[in-house]
Amino acid sequence: MAVELIYQKDSYIKEFNATIKSVDGEKVVLDRTAFNPRSGGLANDTGYIVKGNVKYRVVDVHFDKEKGVVVHVLDTKTHDLSVGDVVRGIIDWDRRYKIMRLHTAAHILTAIMYRDYGALITGGNIYPDYAYDDYSLEVFDPEIFKNAIAKANEIVKQGIEVKVYWLKREEALKIPGIVKLASRMPPKVEYLRIVEIPGVDIQADGGPHVKNTREIGEIVFMKAVNKGKKRKRVYYTVKP
Tell me: the pLDDT tens digits for 121-135?
A: 999 999 999 999 999
Whether residues 226 and 166 share a domain: the answer is yes
Quick one: average pLDDT of 68-81? 96
Distance CA 69, CA 227 (A): 35
Distance CA 120, CA 42 (A): 17
Residue 190: what pLDDT? Answer: 86
CA atoms within 13 A on the CB side of 129: 0
The domain boundary residue, chosen from 91, 122, 140: 91
pLDDT higher than threshold 60 for residue 184: no
- pTM here is 0.94
Give the H/E segment covering residue 74. strand 69-74
Whether residues 111 and 147 share a domain: the answer is yes
Whether residues 102 and 86 share a domain: the answer is no
Whether residues 164 and 129 share a domain: the answer is yes
Whether residues 100 and 146 share a domain: the answer is yes
How many domains are contained in the chain?
Answer: 2
Whether residues 37 and 139 share a domain: the answer is no
pLDDT higher than threshold 90 for residue 40: no
pLDDT higher than threshold 70 for residue 186: no
Whether residues 231 and 127 share a domain: the answer is yes
Quick one: average pLDDT of 151-155? 98
State which residues form the domain around 206.
Answer: 96-239
pLDDT higher than threshold 80 for residue 180: no
CATH number at residue 221: 3.30.980.10
Whether residues 48 and 102 share a domain: the answer is no
Give the H/E segment covering residue 157. helix 142-157
Whether residues 101 and 78 share a domain: the answer is no
